[in-house]
Amino acid sequence: MGLALRLAAAEVEVTVGSRTAERAAQKVDEALERWTDRHLTIGRTQNAEAAGADIVVLATPWDAAVATATDLADALAGKVVVSMANALQRVGDEFQPLIPPRGSVAESVQAALERSHVGAAFHHVPARLLGNLDQPMDCDVLVCGDRPEAVAQTEALVGSIPGLRPVTAGTLSLAGAIEAFTGVLLNVNVRHKARASIKLTGL
Ligand SMILES: NC(=O)c1ccc[n+]([C@@H]2O[C@H](COP(=O)([O-])OP(=O)(O)OC[C@H]3O[C@@H](n4cnc5c(N)ncnc54)[C@H](OP(=O)(O)O)[C@@H]3O)[C@@H](O)[C@H]2O)c1
């Protein structure tokens, strides 16, 4: 929901999807409650209708991403679909990366969506930072994808949010490393009570 808030604050037309329209409405209303002074507009509907957007961000828990994408494959055909899920498991007080089929969530989603163009992005932006519109962001967002239109449109979406700099990383073969590194960041944030993200130097 933090990403939807940031996009809306950047005046991007955004619709939140859900398995039920009621839950979409409830989630959006809850998210907007804190920001009534900002006049944000966020649409809310079922996933199948939200999949009609020009660009679609798949933002489910990692182990629901492929099933959700598969259900929506026809509606997503020809579109850029952004994968942001990280395959992580909490073991004790540590987040540990898992290796999904094909090496990453993003590659699994691309395999399920042969007619779509998958871009991977947003993995390292802390949820609390995204959701706090009072806090400026200053983060790099690594973007990868196998198809040029996926990378270009995903980077344009990232770049529409003030404080986020899209950085092209390469093909989806890099997505596994990007997703796994989120576990490192989460553990750093837990240990240091921080909201660290990434900012590359020398670029
Ligand atoms: N939160 C962030 O800022 C952030 C930052 C970087 C990366 N990520 C990644 O983005 C993904 C989403 O993060 P989140 O914090 O928004 O997760 P979340 O709140 O746990 O889940 C997002 C939505 O996924 C849907 N969902 C849950 N279980 C599902 C299932 N079994 N099948 C289909 N849909 C299901 C739910 O929608 P309905 O129940 O309404 O259908 C839920 O509202 C995660 O994989 C996370 O690793 C998140």
| 64 occurs within a structural domain | yes
Residues of the chain with pLDDT under 50: none
**Which pLDDT does position 14 carry in this prediction?**
98
| Same domain? 35 vs 134 | no
User: What's residue 198's pLDDT?
Assistant: 97
Cβ(127) – ligand 1 distance below 6 Å:
yes
Q: How far is the CA of 61 from the centre of ligand 1 (A)?
A: 4
123, 45: one domain: no
**Residue 83, in any domain of the structure:** yes
Q: Mind giving me the DSSP string for the chain?
A: -HHHHHHHHTT---EEEESSHHHHHHHHHHHHHTTGGG----EEEEHHHHTTSSEEEE-S-HHHHHHHHHHTHHHHTTSEEEE----EEEETTEEEE---GGGSHHHHHHHH-TTSEEEE--TTS-HHHHH-TTSPP-EEEEEEESSHHHHHHHHHHHHTSTTEEEEEEESGGGHHHHHHHHHHHHHHHHHHT-------S--
7 occurs within a structural domain: yes
Q: For ligand 1, pick from 60, 84, 135, 139 the residue to mutate: most ligand atoms within 8 Å of CB.
A: 60
**37 and 80 share a domain?**
no
Q: Which pLDDT belongs to residue 158?
A: 98
Give the residue numbers spanning the domain of 138.
54-192
CATH of the domain at 188: 3.40.50.720
Ligand 1 contacts CB of residue 141 (under 6 A): no
pLDDT of residue 65: 98
6-16 per-position pLDDT tens digit: 999 999 999 99
